[in-house]
Amino acid sequence: MTAPAERRASPERPRLHFITGRLAEPSLREVLERLAPRVGFMPTVQVMNITVAALMTTPWIAKRLQVPEGTDRVILPGAVSGPLDVVRAVSPVPVERGPEDLRRLDEYFGQKRADLADYGSHAIEIIAEINHAPRMTAAAILAEARRMRADGADRIDLGCDPEGGWSGVADVVKRLVDDGHTVSIDSFDAREVSAAVQAGATLVLSINSSNAERAADWGCEVVAIPDVPSTLEGFEATIARLDHDRVPHRLDPVLEPIGFGFAASLGRYLDIRKRYPQAAMMMGIGNLTELTDVDSAGMNVCLLGFCAEVGIGSILTTEVIHWARSSVKECDLGRRLVHHAVTKRSLPKHVEPRLVTLRAGRPEAHGDAALERLSAAIRDPNFRLFAERGEIHLVGRDLHLASADPFEVFAALAAAGRDDVDPSHAFYLGYEMAKAVTALSLDKDYRQDQALDWGHLTRPEIAHGPSRAAARVVGATDPAVAGDLPRRDPLPGEETA
């Protein structure tokens, strides 16, 4: 098979010149072999005399750049540091940065899976409940509502206390409405409900035979529930009363916790859908997410999948218990995933990586042979860290240490007589090793100087890296010299293009 760099460009295809390092070259050529015909360009590849592409700087590249005749654009690795102007000054064609990870070249060139072209639509409303709202200040409620809305909530539900009597409900509702929120009130206290509705609430939770007669006075939509969920006692009578009074309503047969009728309660949702095929329905999913010792994301997606198949158009979620503190965001991502699965009749797999948090980031293993080659090729005083095959691997100039215990790795480093590890560099290595151990424990992918992948919970990491400590070791004060030192250390095969 002819390598992309060796093909001749046709007149109608632009020629793109990619810059990379030695380790990334095979992976880059493999990606370009597949991508170039699909996108419609002719690639050439210049392999710089450096092991890791991300260690390059733009001034360093500018001194070594060789642009083939007929090139239309030059694409640098995304993690290359320095201004592009210095490369543009010596290039006869435009220069740009590519993605930091060459696996994202497809996305960089606008290539998306055909079945995901319209991904992101949904059909389920998220009602986010602020529990015990009467015990909070209006400012705290407003702040919580804004946070939930940013995470995807469509409606803010004010959960009232059982004893009722919240005198400040109208003021809070008005402040929320004035701030652009759609509001519901969860209370059986008729005075609280009346005040909330008059202030702008547009949905009341919940109505059964005890207060159905008041619903006509409120002039807004309500949620009907049975008097006794296990038998649906009183449900039909309440629905009939609301129909008679022409009160718009949603039906919620009530989801029960595991061990208290969970399976039977799911059956009741199916039964109610058959009996009322056109009715709007709601499910309060907190009885599962809040009352089950398990991270909430998977539970939320399963319940949303049930809702999508049954035609339940709204869910009520809460974020009280610590393992469910991201439920609103999970539901926002999950409702899009299940909508795609149901409407496209496509498995909800390899579609929404942000929902995979604990095991996110498929680990890559490079093997001892590749790490030994890297050790032999390194010329700078810095260390590369890898987490694979159950061990932490520390690779440096003519050095390759490995152990499942980071303390053993550090002890072996000290025994090797390396005198180029000052306190700040040691702190850096300890920080990175802690991340590596976490990755090994959870079978996650570890990339030095990059945040571990926690799906939608990932916190961007400010890469400090060992470059400053290394610069002190070798006495590099000139930015041009320091620029040749490692800025970040990605995994071989995971480097930028």
Residue 329 sits in the same domain as residue 263: yes
Residue 361 lies in a domain: no
Q: pLDDT by residue (tens digit) across 240-296?
A: 999 999 999 999 999 999 999 999 999 999 999 999 999 999 999 999 999 999 999
Residue 9 carries which DSSP code?
P
Residue 67 lies in a domain: yes
User: Which amino acid, one-letter code, is at 323?
Assistant: W
Do residues 165 and 189 lie in contact, with contact meaning Cβ atoms separated by under 8 Å? yes
Distance, CA of 318 to CA of 322 (rounded, Å): 11
Q: pLDDT by residue (tens digit) across 65-74?
A: 999 999 999 9
DSSP 159-190: EPPTT---TTHHHHHHHHHHTT--EEEE-S-H
Residue 283 sits in the same domain as residue 170: yes
Residue 119 lies in a domain: no
Stronger pLDDT, 184 or 361, i.e. the higher one: 184
Distance, CA of 483 to CA of 340 (rounded, Å): 46
End residue of a domain, out of 355, 380, 404 = 355
End residue of a domain, out of 88, 113, 138 = 113
Nearest-10 Cα torsion for 439, 444, 445, 450: -60
Residue 488 lies in a domain: no
Residue 492 lies in a domain: no
**315's torsion region: left (phi>0), alpha (psi -120 to 50) or beta?**
beta
User: What long-range pairs does 82-91 form, CB within 8 A, spacing at least 24?
Assistant: 82/57, 82/58, 82/483, 83/58, 84/58, 86/58, 86/59, 86/62, 87/58, 87/61, 87/62, 89/62, 90/62, 90/65, 91/65, 91/67
Residue 496 lies in a domain: no
Burial pattern 383-410, b for ≥16 Cβ within 10 A else e, equals bbbbbbeebbbbbbeeebbbbeebeebb
How far the first Cα of the chain sits from its last, in Å, is 20
In which domain, by residue range, is 473 found?
367-482
Nearest CA to 490 out of 398, 359, 374, 358 is that of 374
Residue 50 sits in the same domain as residue 19: yes
- C-alpha neighbours within 13 Å on the C-beta side of residue 286: 18
Stronger pLDDT, 80 or 288, i.e. the higher one: 288
End residue of a domain, out of 335, 355, 375 = 355
- What pTM did the predictor assign? 0.76
* Domain tally, the chain: 3
Residues 428-454 have a mean pLDDT of 91
Whether residue 367 has pLDDT greater than 90: no
Q: pLDDT by residue (tens digit) across 154-204?
A: 999 999 998 888 999 999 999 999 999 999 999 999 999 999 999 999 999
Residue 65 sits in the same domain as residue 146: no
Whether residue 474 has pLDDT greater than 60: no
Residue 160 sits in the same domain as residue 84: no
- C-alpha neighbours within 13 Å on the C-beta side of residue 225: 21
Distance, CA of 444 to CA of 360 (rounded, Å): 6
Task: Name 98's Cβ contacts closer than 8 Å, sequence gap at least 6.
Answer: 18, 75, 76, 77, 78, 105, 108, 496, 497
Whether residue 1 has pLDDT greater than 70: no
Residue 1 carries which DSSP code?
-
Residue 215 lies in a domain: yes
281 phi and psi angles, rounded to 5 deg: -130, 155
Residue 19 lies in a domain: yes
Q: What is the pLDDT, as a whole number, of residue 47?
A: 94
Residue 424 sits in the same domain as residue 467: yes
